[in-house]
């Protein structure tokens, strides 16, 4: 199998594979398609594409292999200590809290930074190995911010895009980072830098301006009208590209699915209203705050425990980090307390599950829920909000959404709230509950408007618009940036 000569390379911290164990104990690597895979598959497939990433298990790496659709998966090996310092440490205990506006205090550790640099270098070596002359490389997310700069040095022939999936903070926060110049230099190795929101892009442009670089134009959405000029003459485009979901995959409900939805409702005791939360168990997601709001509404009698049930699905995440352990304890304590106060035997008012569910089951939960509670303190986009909306093509249901989620820019027909203000969360939740009974025409209109927005702005549009702009940014050079429609191969 030829590993060189890939015209289009995606690089992400994680490879889209899982290590699965069969009944006989044998282990195999199996592709695990997620949103990013769905978005990029047409381009990857049309261009002999290659995906470079860590397979998710320390000190193990399968041989490179092709998926059924012909995409080459190329693993990068990380040791247990790389995982601790690069991934858990610098990525998730330094950058994650800093970029989410200091919801918890970031740790600045020099050894973690060394590991971050070293792992970015390793990724760059692997990419340089698999990318064809003049190939396009699309680097994903905060774990790999140095990669564009390193690759630019190693392989000036490449067209490089970089997309950040989490928020980019204001320059006043960012300047805390002891390695801020090197980080910005790394990102600026790209030809095009994409953020979810114009506000994130503006933060980056402001930072570049403060570092003395020439900035021209304003950031816009799905377009490149802002540019940063670097000493030496290279120009970098900056724009907003709001990510979305494979909307079609969520919205289609067969009769079998509908029976499943009805059964789920029955399993919960057929309450009048079901409120749902679905999150990775992360302190940015505001799970405790939404539980507190729910508890206070039960306490005052604004909500009746005989009529409402809250279901919280919390997928385990970054479980070895202290802030994540603390968040889990607080959430589970609140669930226990609320149930202790307001449940009857056999009828808990909060159903809590600390494990994931398969995607086809998750769709049924979304469809079953009357109200979706999405209350992050800060979120780059939040796909859960869009997935819920995609599952309500009939206009049923209502979305309570934090103003601090990127999705609020597009889903402004949601019941918006400020998660830092419990009264605001209570108000939005109560308004949604009441509107479903008192103003069904309004709630239907609001949901249908959001549904139309999500269906017409899916993840395909995201990847097409980014890659289209990347092509334009490199126009006049020897770029072979792929046609985003996958037709030019």
Q: What is the number of residues in the chain? A: 489
φ, ψ for residue 389, nearest 5 deg: -60, -40
First and final CA of the chain: distance in angstroms? 20
Which residue number, 36 or 481, has a Cβ lying nearer to ligand GDG? Answer: 36
Hey, what are 412's tokens?
Answer: 């402004």
Is the CB of residue 178 less than 8 Å from the CB of residue 184?
no
The conformational region for residue 51 under phi > 0 = left, psi -120 to 50 = alpha, else beta, is beta
Binding to ligand GDG by residue 384, rule CB under 6 A? Answer: yes
Which span sits near ligand GDG by CB under 6 A: 142-150, 351-359, 416-424, 447-455? 351-359
**Looking at residue 66, what DSSP letter applies?**
E
Cα–Cα distance measured from residue 484 to residue 278, given in angstroms and rounded to the nearest whole number: 32
Binding to ligand GDG by residue 381, rule CB under 6 A? Answer: yes
Hey, what are 449's tokens?
Answer: 């408007």
Binding to ligand GDG by residue 357, rule CB under 6 A? Answer: yes
Cα–Cα distance measured from residue 16 to residue 29, given in angstroms and rounded to the nearest whole number: 10
The least distance separating ligand GDG from the CB of residue 32, rounded to whole angstroms, comes to 10
Cα–Cα distance measured from residue 120 to residue 116, given in angstroms and rounded to the nearest whole number: 6
φ, ψ for residue 478, nearest 5 deg: -90, 30
Which residue number, 276 or 313, has a Cβ lying nearer to ligand GDG? Answer: 313
Binding to ligand GDG by residue 315, rule CB under 6 A? Answer: yes
Which residue number, 50 or 281, has a Cβ lying nearer to ligand GDG? Answer: 281
Total interface residues for ligand GDG by CB under 6 A: 20
Which residue number, 404 or 415, has a Cβ lying nearer to ligand GDG? Answer: 404
Binding to ligand GDG by residue 356, rule CB under 6 A? Answer: yes
Which residue number, 315 or 418, has a Cβ lying nearer to ligand GDG? Answer: 315
The three-state secondary structure class of 399 is strand
**What are the residue ranges of helices labelled H in 188-270?**
198-210, 247-251, 255-267
Which residue number, 122 or 328, has a Cβ lying nearer to ligand GDG? Answer: 328
Site for ligand GDG in 261-300 (CB under 6 A): 278, 280
Which span sits near ligand GDG by CB under 6 A: 178-186, 229-237, 291-299, 380-388? 380-388
Which residue in 82, 379, 393, 413 binds ligand GDG (CB under 6 A)?
379
Binding to ligand GDG by residue 410, rule CB under 6 A? Answer: no
Which span sits near ligand GDG by CB under 6 A: 59-67, 85-93, 352-360, 413-421? 352-360
Hey, what are 319's tokens?
Answer: 């479980």
Residues 6+ apart with CB under 8 A from 451: 389, 390, 392, 393, 395
Site for ligand GDG in 26-65 (CB under 6 A): 35
Q: Which residues pair with 139 in a beta bridge?
A: 11, 162
Binding to ligand GDG by residue 199, rule CB under 6 A? Answer: no
The least distance separating ligand GDG from the CB of residue 362, rounded to whole angstroms, comes to 5
Is the CB of residue 150 less than 8 Å from the CB of residue 186?
yes
CA distances from 240 to 277, 296, 479 (A): 27, 38, 22
Which residue in 56, 89, 149, 380 binds ligand GDG (CB under 6 A)?
380
Minimal CA–CA distance to 62: which of 26, 110, 19? Answer: 19
Which span sits near ligand GDG by CB under 6 A: 80-88, 298-306, 341-349, 376-384? 376-384
The least distance separating ligand GDG from the CB of residue 353, rounded to whole angstroms, comes to 8
Q: Beta-carbon neighbour count of residue 45 at 10 Å?
A: 16
Which span sits near ligand GDG by CB under 6 A: 115-123, 334-342, 353-361, 446-454? 353-361
φ, ψ for residue 14, nearest 5 deg: -105, 135
Q: What is the largest CA-CA distance in the chain?
A: 72
Cα–Cα distance measured from residue 52 to residue 126, given in angstroms and rounded to the nearest whole number: 8
Binding to ligand GDG by residue 434, rule CB under 6 A? Answer: no
Binding to ligand GDG by residue 461, rule CB under 6 A? Answer: no
Binding to ligand GDG by residue 10, rule CB under 6 A? Answer: no
Binding to ligand GDG by residue 165, rule CB under 6 A? Answer: yes
Binding to ligand GDG by residue 243, rule CB under 6 A? Answer: yes
Binding to ligand GDG by residue 387, rule CB under 6 A? Answer: yes
Which residue in 124, 207, 261, 362 binds ligand GDG (CB under 6 A)?
362
Which span sits near ligand GDG by CB under 6 A: 130-138, 149-157, 187-195, 357-365? 357-365
Which residue in 66, 259, 341, 359 binds ligand GDG (CB under 6 A)?
359
Which residue number, 215 or 459, has a Cβ lying nearer to ligand GDG? Answer: 459
Cα–Cα distance measured from residue 191 to residue 428, given in angstroms and rounded to the nearest whole number: 42
Q: Which residues pair with 315 in a beta bridge?
A: 280
The least distance separating ligand GDG from the CB of residue 310, rounded to whole angstroms, comes to 16
**What are the residue ranges of helices labelled H in 131-236?**
147-154, 171-174, 180-187, 198-210
Binding to ligand GDG by residue 244, rule CB under 6 A? Answer: no
Site for ligand GDG, rule CB under 6 A: 35, 165-166, 243, 278, 280, 313, 315, 356-359, 362, 379-384, 387
């Amino acid at each position: 199998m030829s590993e060189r000569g890939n015209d289009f390379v995606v690089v992400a911290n994680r490879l889209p594979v899982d290590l699965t164990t069969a009944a006989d104990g044998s282990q195999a690597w199996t592709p695990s398609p997620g949103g990013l895979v769905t978005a990029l598959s047409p381009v990857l497939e049309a261009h002999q594409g290659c995906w470079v990433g860590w397979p998710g298990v320390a000190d193990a790496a399968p041989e490179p292999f092709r998926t059924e659709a012909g995409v080459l998966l190329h693993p990068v090996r990380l040791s247990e200590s790389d995982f601790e310092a690069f991934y858990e440490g610098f990525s998730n205990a330094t950058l994650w809290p800093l970029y989410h506006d200091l919801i918890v205090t970031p740790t600045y550790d020099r050894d973690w930074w060394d590991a971050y640099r070293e792992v970015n270098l390793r990724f760059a070596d692997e990419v340089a190995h698999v990318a064809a002359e003049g190939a396009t490389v699309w680097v994903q997310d905060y774990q790999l911010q140095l990669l564009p700069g390193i690759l630019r040095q190693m392989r000036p022939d490449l067209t490089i895009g970089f997309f950040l999936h989490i928020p980019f903070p204001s320059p006043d926060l960012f300047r805390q980072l002891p390695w801020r110049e090197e980080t910005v230099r790394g990102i600026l190795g790209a030809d095009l830098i994409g953020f979810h929101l114009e506000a994130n892009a503006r933060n980056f442009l402001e930072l570049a301006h403060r570092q003395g670089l020439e900035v021209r134009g304003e950031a816009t959405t799905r377009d490149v009208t802002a540019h940063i000029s670097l000493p030496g003459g290279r120009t970098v485009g900056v724009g907003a590209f709001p990510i979305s979901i494979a909307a079609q995959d969520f919205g289609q409900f067969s009769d079998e699915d509908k029976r499943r939805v009805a059964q789920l409702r029955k399993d919960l005791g057929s309450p009048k209203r079901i409120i749902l939360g679905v999150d990775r168990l992360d302190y940015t997601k505001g799970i405790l705050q939404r539980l507190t709001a729910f508890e206070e509404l039960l306490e005052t009698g604004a909500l009746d425990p005989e009529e409402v049930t809250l279901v919280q699905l919390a997928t385990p995440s970054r479980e070895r980090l202290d802030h994540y352990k603390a968040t889990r304890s607080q959430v589970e304590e609140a669930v226990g307390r609320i149930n202790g106060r307001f449940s009857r035997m056999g009828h808990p008012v909060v159903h809590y599950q600390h494990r994931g569910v398969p995607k086809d089951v998750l769709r049924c939960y979304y469809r079953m829920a009357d109200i979706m509670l999405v209350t992050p303190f800060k979120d780059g986009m939040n796909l859960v909000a869009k997935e819920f909306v995609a599952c309500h093509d009939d206009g049923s249901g209502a979305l309570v959404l934090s103003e601090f989620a990127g999705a609020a820019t597009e889903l402004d027909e949601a019941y918006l709230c400020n998660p830092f203000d419990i009264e605001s969360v209570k108000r939005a939740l109560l308004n949604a509950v009441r509107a479903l009974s008192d103003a069904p025409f309004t709630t239907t209109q609001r949901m249908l408007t959001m549904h139309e927005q999500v269906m017409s702005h899916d993840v395909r549009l995201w990847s097409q618009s980014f890659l289209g702009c990347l092509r334009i940014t490199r126009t006049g050079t020897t770029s072979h940036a792929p046609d985003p429609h996958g037709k030019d191969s």
